[in-house]
Structure 1
Amino acid sequence: MITYTFLAIILIFSIYCFNDRNAMNKYMFHPYSIHHNKEHYRFLTHAFIHGDFMHLAFNCIALYGFGLGLEEQFFGNPNIFDPRLGKLYYILLFTGGIYAASFTEYYRNKDNPDYSSLGASGAISSILFCYIMISPLSSISFFFFPMKGWIAGVLLLGVSYFLIRRKKTSTYSDNISHESHFWGAIFGIAFILILKPKILLHFIDQIMSSFQ
């Protein structure tokens, strides 16, 4: 299972970097180093390291909860995809989410030596919102309150957008990359709709049927 492979890499690499801060500094997302030192590997490597055990546990639980189901029931379903293509698409969803979640912060901070970030939030947002598009009526917890997936998705996008705007217009900062959550989510939605455009009609039909 590809999800288990991602989880293993994240766990091993994160714990290694917990004990080696030089490695963490070398592999985290640092737009200044990417732009000025051409350290392009940081676009990818930062997603596999985390700041602390709480950050690591939260992302691993989310990846296990949504990624495994998505891989098994959709991308790994031979009635939907050729098995080899399904695996490739799932990898592209995860890695594409990493890059999509990073570009806005790269361009905003490429000349700012004080900005850095790390974690798999962008990739996991891509997986979560791909999952929501396929199964909008599945129950998802939003701040520990269970609700239908599509409602949680709307709230997550709305909250992320609000916090992005607030960060731009005030001095408030919570040290969370809401841009990663937002653009990772947008990538997940766009990816599945490009891959399977009929998903949009299926998504709408499921939501409408829940009101009948």
Structure 2
Amino acid sequence: MLNPVLVLIGLTVAISVYAWSNQQLMDSWILRPYRMARDQSQWYRFLTCGFLHADWMHLLFNMIAFFSFGSLVLRAYCFGLPGTEVEGFGSSGGVWRFLLLYLGGIIVSSIPSYFRHRDDRHYGSLGASGGVAAVLFAGTLFAPTSKIYLMFIPVGIPAFIFGFLYLIYSYYQGRRGGDNINHDAHFYGALFGVLITLLLQPNVLPVFLAGVQGYKFN
């Protein structure tokens, strides 16, 4: 069976790079709330915007983060967590739930931006950040003490601490605006990832809480 993480990364890279030299594709796939509110046939943009990126930095950052946590989440969805009551759904069942997580994260995280900017004819948004945030936060539930490394911080940050700070920052910046980044997609994608994983595998909550309570700061 093809690895859906690698397939999604390959598709996203190929489409993003191609769209950089094809303005027609870029314009027809990017999230445009103003157009979508006036033409429901363009609601496909809720999903297609997640396969476009602004530049290499934007693309690489999202795909590296997705790859880092995607394999962990996919494995947990398929086979559960050994030694815990978190059960998997098998290979095929785990894959389609993983696709629901990632693609659903892209779609759901775009909805607040749609309502917020549906009367702004100049607004556009693109990127897989909502889906990536969904996967990252699902991974945080499964492995709350795993370390996340940032370029400007020399030590790893436990995932549950990073996630808490990430939500606060995304919410604040989303309300503040002005930096040309869709922080709402990060915030709502993260919430979607947590909620859908708790719905699918509710036994992960005790695993998460035990991991947080047992963490020792060095």
TM-score range (shorter-chain normalised) is over 0.9
Instruction: Name the TM-score, length of structure 2 as normaliser.
Output: 0.90
Instruction: Name the TM-score, length of structure 1 as normaliser.
Output: 0.93
Match of 1:189 in 2: 194
What is the SS of the residue equivalent to 1:86?
A: helix
User: Does residue 175 of the first structure (1) align with residue 163 of the second (2)?
Assistant: no
Q: Deviations over 1:15-68 (max 9, x none)?
A: 110111121011100011111122011111000011111111111111111112
What is the SS of the residue equivalent to 2:119?
A: coil
Aligned counterparts, 1:191-206, within 5 A: 191-206=196-211
Summarize the Cα distance change of 1:132–1:180 in structure 2 as closer, same or farther, 3 Å threshold: same
The Cα shift of 1:75 comes to 1.9
Summarize the Cα distance change of 1:123–1:52 in structure 2 as closer, same or farther, 3 Å threshold: same
Query: What is the identity percentage for the equivalent residue pairs of Structure 1 and Structure 2?
Result: 33
2: CA distance, partners of 1:32 / 1:126:
26
2: CA distance, partners of 1:53 / 1:147:
25
User: Does residue 12 of the first structure (1) align with residue 14 of the second (2)?
Assistant: yes
User: Does residue 46 of the first structure (1) align with residue 49 of the second (2)?
Assistant: yes
The Cα shift of 1:211 comes to 4.0
C-alpha contact 1:141 1:152 (8 A) present in aligned 2 = no
C-alpha contact 1:142 1:152 (8 A) present in aligned 2 = no
Match of 2:83 in 1: none
C-alpha contact 1:10 1:49 (8 A) present in aligned 2 = yes
User: Does residue 108 of the first structure (1) align with residue 116 of the second (2)?
Assistant: yes
What is the SS of the residue equivalent to 2:149?
A: strand
Pairing partner for 1:166 from 160, 167, 176: 176
User: Does residue 98 of the first structure (1) align with residue 106 of the second (2)?
Assistant: yes
Aligned counterparts, 1:72-151, within 5 A: 73-77=75-79, 80-142=88-150, 144-145=152-153, 146-151=156-161
What is the SS of the residue equivalent to 1:114?
A: coil
C-alpha contact 2:78 2:93 (8 A) present in aligned 1 = no
Q: Deviations over 1:141-189 (max 9, x none)?
A: 246432111000001001111112223xxxxx11000000000000000
Q: How many residues align?
A: 206
Q: Deviations over 1:51-95 (max 9, x none)?
A: 111111111111111112321x31232762222111110000011
C-alpha contact 1:14 1:50 (8 A) present in aligned 2 = yes
C-alpha contact 1:132 1:150 (8 A) present in aligned 2 = yes
Match of 1:37 in 2: 39
1: CA distance, partners of 2:161 / 2:124:
31
> What is the letter of the counterpart of residue 214 of structure 2?
S
1: CA distance, partners of 2:180 / 2:174:
12
Match of 1:56 in 2: 59
Q: Give the gaps of 5 or more residues in structure 1.
A: 168-172
C-alpha contact 1:123 1:184 (8 A) present in aligned 2 = yes
> What is the letter of the counterpart of residue 165 of structure 1?
R
Q: Give the gaps of 5 or more residues in structure 2.
A: 81-86
Spell out structure 1 runs of 4+ moving beyond 4 A.
none
